[in-house]
Amino acid sequence: MLIDRTHRPWAMASAAILALAVAAYIPYALGTRPGGGTIPGLAYGTVGFAFMAFVTLLALRKKFPIWRIGRTQTWMRGHLWLGALSLPLILLHAGFLFGHGLTAIMMWLFAVVYASGLFGAWLQHTMPRRLLREVPMETIYEQLAHVREQLLDEADNVVADACGKLEVTIAVPVAASPTGAEALATVMRPVGSDVDDTAPLREFYLKEMRPFVQAPNRPHPLGDPVTASGMFAKVRALVPASLEPAIVDLESICEEERQLRRQGRLHGLLHAWLIVHVPLSFALMVLAVAHIFMALRF
Amino acid sequence: MSDQVTLSIDGRDVTVPKGTTIFDAARLNGIPIPTLCHQQNQTPVGVCRVCVVDVGARVYAAACIRECEPGMKVKTDAPGVVQARNTLVEMLMADHPSPCARQQQSGDCELETMAKAGGVAEPRFARRLSPRGRDDSSLSIAVDHEACILCDRCIRGCDDVKKNMVIGRSGRGYTAHVGFDLDLPMGSSTCVSCGECMVSCPTGALTNKRVVDANLAGEKLDAEWILQLPVFKGVSGTFLELNQGAVVKRSIAPGEVICREGEFGSTAFYILEGTVEILINTPIAHVQQEDGAGSWFSRIRSKLSDRQQHTRTEESGRRYIPIDAPVDLPYDKPIAELAAGDLFGEMTCMSFHPRSATVRAKTDVVVLEMLRNVLDILQKNKTFRAELDRKYRQRALETHIKSVPVFSSMPADFIAYLRDRVELIRYSPGEVIVRQGDAADAFYLVRLGFVKVSERHPGGDVVLNYLGRGSYFGEMGLLGGGIRTATCTALDHVDVVRIAGGDFNLMLSRFPAIRAGLEQVARDRADMNRRRVASTEHVPITDFLNQGLMEAQSLLLLDLEKCTRCDQCVRACADAHDGVTRLVREGLRFDKYLVATSCRSCRDPLCMVGCPVGSIRRRNSMEIIIEDWCIGCGLCARNCPYGNLNLHPFTVQVPDPAQPARMIATTKKKATGCDLCMEHAEPSCVYACPHDAAHRVEPLTFFAGMLEAKDQKPTSGSTAGTSK
């Protein structure tokens, strides 16, 4: 979520709650040894846990998106700001002590959840703009593989139209493919009258470009736009000018593939932190409930 | 010298008056000769040559133009003649789309019937490579140049029979085709839609466009009865017969509402008897957000805000509210009366705009309710136009002129002077009214419809404004150097009041206050245009317009700076609609927004055209809904230019064909589209977005925001910036 000036009311309210909590804490800490068992400590703990519980309920809220129980963005804002408040309140509850055993585990877990949450908020604040800027050809993430297949078909057709039917089945396996420079060396040979003058383009496509589009997880020189530009320049020098439109098409397909890779990377980054944040949050809540039960019971 | 000629046709001696053609001589004696280009009520021209006969000469003669000669021996069915005729038909069929529209509609395409009778199967000749195209610009007649055989029957029908002189031949040789006026689209030409060309056409080149669901509620009328009405004088009876049900008579009791403001409709009303009240029922006040959607912060802020802050300065001088009727409503008391001979609902009928006012019968009222093809033919009818224009000059011109704030001080005597001097002109969609760079010779008041104002710039045109009823243009060219500074184009069916440059200058010289007001407006507009052009240099607004988003009433936009691509919107949509999402998070990008693939509730909902069972319709609250009797033909999905309607398979239980008593599961398809979750205050996709990224917006407001990023003012009304 973009944290912009529309968050000002939430930020101000959070700051006010925090200031109030700290203001109440100072005389309390000066008068007695702060701890979770005191009345003020229990009050801090109760409010802190209430915030944590609300924050955790966002996951449930998102499971039922059409329930008219408040706009999800309000829940999300609450998640961000009340979540941000929960750690200081729990610290005030604990008297800034991590304790031992279960409480220590909880505090460390809380720190990890909190840090991952902050990291996630930062990612959600910045990454959408990066995606917008760097991936103008963005598509639906789940459709990446399908779009890639279409690109491959399109590239096959472009090369087949320019160079004749492709023998794709006997293409050089990716593992055996030499690096870009070596590959080009193998196709760089004098163009004589007895040589098919479209061969360099075909060779380049089969040995370099096709594996690049086919294997998105494998690093490839064409993944870098500058290197790719140099490689295409070399191919251009080896083939007749009539193949220029085909080369331009292939370059644009490479650019699209680069954007698909970038989208995959950024999308992964944008959502991967949840793998840490969500399960640990639930674990924290389970431990918190256990902690409350034990504290009240014993 | 005898006035009779005797000759032999297929061995039979026949005697006919001198000057009779072989075709007529044969017909009079019961000998059929096939023909395509000839009709009894038209002058023969002999262009198709299908009526060739053997007269014993070196070449075959066209029977429709060759006069009988004494002793002539004519053979109409000799093997050579039949072969020549079939070859001609085969050649015509080579370029003919088979089956053509007429063959599909009524199975009586003369060419195809003739080909079938002559045993002409698949033509041996190659089809032409370059398409000749279609012309769908007329509301009444569909033109398919592909099916035209250039027989000229339509030309003779239009020119000789009806004396309208609209249709002629354009182009030469292989590019020859029938053209309207100076080769204009039929809808933009002076065609009066009399239908003569359509009934003359032997193929599907000119066919009647029937309006979907033409069965209006009301008393069905015979063409004969309709033609007795003075208002229909000169209208083609053929057309009315072909479009029975497209105009009905309705009797309305006093107090009964004929139509309500805000409703969508597709008809116009012509008052035959009685008086109606036309009024705006909605309280004139700005809506605040006290109980609406929005965050609780904004609701509290709304509660605390001062209502006066919503008073807009540009409304202070407004005294009339423009509506879709020949009168404007006074701002203080928005009610007026219409009487016999008045027409209302034109914009709703022609452009499917919502009804602008409520109309209630004041006395016993009889009205004609008509669909757009009938209204179109009436508007092209000279008698009807003249009557409407006369009434406008008498009753509405004064309020129309005074409804423009800058003219509100114009005295009645000058308006009376203008009354017979102004021209009332009608433009079809896309027609240019004034062109940038042309000499400025007139001032225009928009009477009906919307005008696009654009300025030519390197790299493309920049749209400056859209002007509706009550707006005006042309003053900048007249006040400045006498050259138009922008192009004004009719967006839909537009009526304007044209005040000639001389009268405009006389007005300025007589009324210095009006001159000062206009000069101020011109300066403001020039400033605003400069700002707008500067801002659009960074905003690809053309892309937005090219995508037809101006046509939309509601767009689902995703702010890509906020959207984390979590797909909550899609999930919510699916949850709200039985697991079938009506939106795809993909589409055109504009600036930082993604225009999601979801119904736009277009102003001109093309999806609604042609539904064979009438299951797609627009509700009064503007959203398009698909009723449960949809038969899954997919026509609406194909018609939607934006791919926002989809067919979804679902399982139903049907009787087993083998054992009718048993039910079996089968898959059917039905069309689905976004219904805006109208049962809720906010669509589910927007409500469920956790990141404040999804918004349903009204695009005109959205455009205003993008174009006037600095001042965020709305662009409606006559004070909005424009340039001419």
Q: What is the ipTM of this complex?
A: 0.84
Is residue B146 a contact partner of residue B130, using CB atoms and an 8 Å limit? no
- Say what the pLDDT of residue B315 is: 43
- Say what the pLDDT of residue B455 is: 81
Q: In angstroms, how far is the first alpha carbon of chain B from the final one? A: 73
Rounded Cα distance, B328 and B167, in Å: 38
H helix or E strand, kind and range, residue B499: strand B494-500
Render pLDDT for B30-65 as a digit per residue (tens, 0 to 9): 898 999 998 887 888 888 899 999 998 888 999 999
The answer to whether A274 contacts chain B (CB < 8 Å) is no
Do B561 and A9 lie within an 8 Å CB cutoff?
no
Closest CB to A9 among B297, B682, B691: B297
**Using CB atoms and an 8 Å cut-off, which of residues 141-160 of chain A contact chain B?**
141
- pLDDT band at A190; cut points 50, 70, 90: very low
Whole-number percent of chain A with pLDDT over 70 = 90
Q: Which chain B positions have a beta carbon within 8 Å of A71's beta carbon?
A: 295, 682, 687
Query: How close, in Å, is residue B575 to chain A by CA atoms?
Result: 7
Question: Average pLDDT, whole number, for chain B?
Answer: 79
Rounded Cα distance, B249 and B368, in Å: 5
Query: How close, in Å, is residue B636 to chain A by CA atoms?
Result: 25
Tokens of B335: 């009610």
Q: Which chain B positions have a beta carbon within 8 Å of A127's beta carbon?
A: 564
- Say what the pLDDT of residue B578 is: 73
Do A140 and B575 lie within an 8 Å CB cutoff?
no
What single letter denotes the amino acid at residue A192? Answer: G
Query: How close, in Å, is residue B531 to chain A by CA atoms?
Result: 26
Do A74 and B295 lie within an 8 Å CB cutoff?
yes
Closest CB to B690 among A72, A127, A132: A72
Q: Which chain A positions have a beta carbon within 8 Å of B571's beta carbon?
A: 65
Tokens of A114: 């909190």
Measure Cα distances from B575 to A274, B147, B263, B582, B597 in Å.
23, 49, 30, 10, 17
| Chain B residues whose C-beta sits inside 8 Å of any chain A C-beta | 295-297, 560-566, 568, 571-572, 575-576, 584-586, 589, 592, 680, 682, 684, 687-693
How large is the average pLDDT for residues A165-176? 51
Closest chain B residue by Cα to residue A269:
B564
pLDDT(B638) > 60? yes
For residue A213, give the nearest of A263, A245, A246, A258 by alpha carbon: A258
Closest CB to B691 among A66, A68, A73: A73
The answer to whether A56 contacts chain B (CB < 8 Å) is no
Rounded Cα distance, B301 and B304, in Å: 5
For testing the chain A interface, which of B586, B687, B695 should be mutated: the one with the most A CBs within 10 Å?
B687
How large is the average pLDDT for residues A74-96? 94
Q: Which residue has the higher pLDDT, A234 or B294?
A: A234
The answer to whether A6 contacts chain B (CB < 8 Å) is yes
Q: Which chain B positions have a beta carbon within 8 Å of A64's beta carbon?
A: 575
How large is the average pLDDT for residues A264-278? 93
- Say what the pLDDT of residue B288 is: 40
Q: Which chain A positions have a beta carbon within 8 Å of B304's beta carbon?
A: none
Buried-state track B457-482, b at ≥16 Cβ within 10 A, e below 16: eeeebbbbbbbbbbbbbbbbbbbeee
- pLDDT band at A43; cut points 50, 70, 90: very high
- Say what the pLDDT of residue B498 is: 92
pLDDT(B299) > 80? no
Do A73 and B680 lie within an 8 Å CB cutoff?
no
Q: Which residue has the higher pLDDT, B638 or B432?
A: B432
- Say what the pLDDT of residue A66 is: 84
pLDDT(B283) > 60? no
DSSP strand pairing (B343-344 vs B267-273): antiparallel
Burial (Cβ within 10 Å: 0-12, 13-18, ≥19) of residue A167: exposed
Helices (H), A95-209: 101-134, 144-163, 180-187, 199-204
Rounded Cα distance, B647 and B670, in Å: 5
- pLDDT band at B463; cut points 50, 70, 90: low
pLDDT(B271) > 70? yes
- Say what the pLDDT of residue A173 is: 42
- Say what the pLDDT of residue B134 is: 87
Closest CB to B687 among A71, A128, A129: A71
Closest CB to B560 among A1, A73, A128: A128
Query: How close, in Å, is residue B684 to chain A by CA atoms?
Result: 6
Whole-number percent of chain B with pLDDT over 70 = 81
Q: Which residue has the higher pLDDT, B616 or A110?
A: A110
Domains annotated on chain B, with CATH: 4-77 (3.10.20.740), 101-208 (3.30.70.20), 219-303+317-399 (2.60.120.10), 404-540 (2.60.120.10), 545-707 (3.30.70.20)
- Say what the pLDDT of residue B528 is: 67
How large is the average pLDDT for residues A202-220? 90
Query: How close, in Å, is residue A258 to chain B by CA atoms?
Result: 19
- Say what the pLDDT of residue A183 is: 44
pLDDT(B647) > 90? no
Tokens of B552: 């939309």
Query: DSSP letter string over B185-227?
Result: -GGGSS----SHHHHH-SSTTEEE-PPTT---SSEE--HHHHH
Q: Which chain B positions have a beta carbon within 8 Å of A58's beta carbon?
A: 690
Do A66 and B568 lie within an 8 Å CB cutoff?
no
Closest chain A residue by Cα to residue B577:
A66
- pLDDT band at B722; cut points 50, 70, 90: very low
Range name among A271-285, B447-461, B617-631 with the lowest pLDDT average:
B617-631
Rounded Cα distance, B434 and B453, in Å: 9
- Say what the pLDDT of residue A180 is: 46
Rounded Cα distance, B539 and B577, in Å: 36
Query: How close, in Å, is residue A76 to chain B by CA atoms?
Result: 6
Render pLDDT for B74-98 as a digit per residue (tens, 0 to 9): 999 889 999 999 999 999 998 888 8
Residue A206 DSSP label:
I
Q: Which chain B positions have a beta carbon within 8 Å of A139's beta carbon?
A: 586
- State the greatest distance between any 2 C-alpha atoms of chain B, in Å, as a whole number: 106
Q: Which chain B positions have a beta carbon within 8 Å of A271's beta carbon?
A: 564, 566
Query: How close, in Å, is residue A239 to chain B by CA atoms?
Result: 34
Q: What angle do CA B148, B149, B154 make, to 5 degrees?
A: 70
Closest CB to A65 among B585, B688, B691: B688
Do B687 and A75 lie within an 8 Å CB cutoff?
no
Rounded Cα distance, A286 and A278, in Å: 13
Three-class secondary structure assignment of B18-86: CCCEHHHHHHHCCCCCCCCCCCCCCCCCCCCCCCEEECCCCCCEECCCCECCCCCEEECCCHHHHHHHH
pLDDT(B256) > 60? yes
pLDDT(B703) > 70? no
Closest chain B residue by Cα to residue A124:
B564
**Using CB atoms and an 8 Å cut-off, which of residues 119-138 of chain A contact chain B?**
124, 127-129, 131-132, 136
- pLDDT band at B615; cut points 50, 70, 90: low
Closest chain B residue by Cα to residue A76:
B690
Rounded Cα distance, B553 and B216, in Å: 26
Domain boundaries, chain A: 5-136+274-297, 141-267
The size of the A-B interface in CB pairs under 8 A is 75
For testing the chain A interface, which of B299, B304, B562 should be mutated: the one with the most A CBs within 10 Å?
B562
Q: DSSP E strands: which ranges in B435-493?
A: 442-448, 451-457, 460-467, 472-473, 487-490
Do B690 and A73 lie within an 8 Å CB cutoff?
yes
Partners of residue B248 on adjacent β-strands: B220, B369
pLDDT(B151) > 70? yes
Do A72 and B575 lie within an 8 Å CB cutoff?
no
Render pLDDT for B661-699 as a digit per residue (tens, 0 to 9): 888 877 777 788 888 887 788 899 999 999 999 998 887
Do A270 and B572 lie within an 8 Å CB cutoff?
no
- Say what the pLDDT of residue B642 is: 86
pLDDT(B721) > 60? no
Do A66 and B690 lie within an 8 Å CB cutoff?
no
The answer to whether A81 contacts chain B (CB < 8 Å) is no
pLDDT(B302) > 70? no
Range name among A61-70, A99-108, B22-31, B464-473 with the lowest pLDDT average:
B464-473
Render pLDDT for B6-17 as a digit per residue (tens, 0 to 9): 999 998 899 999
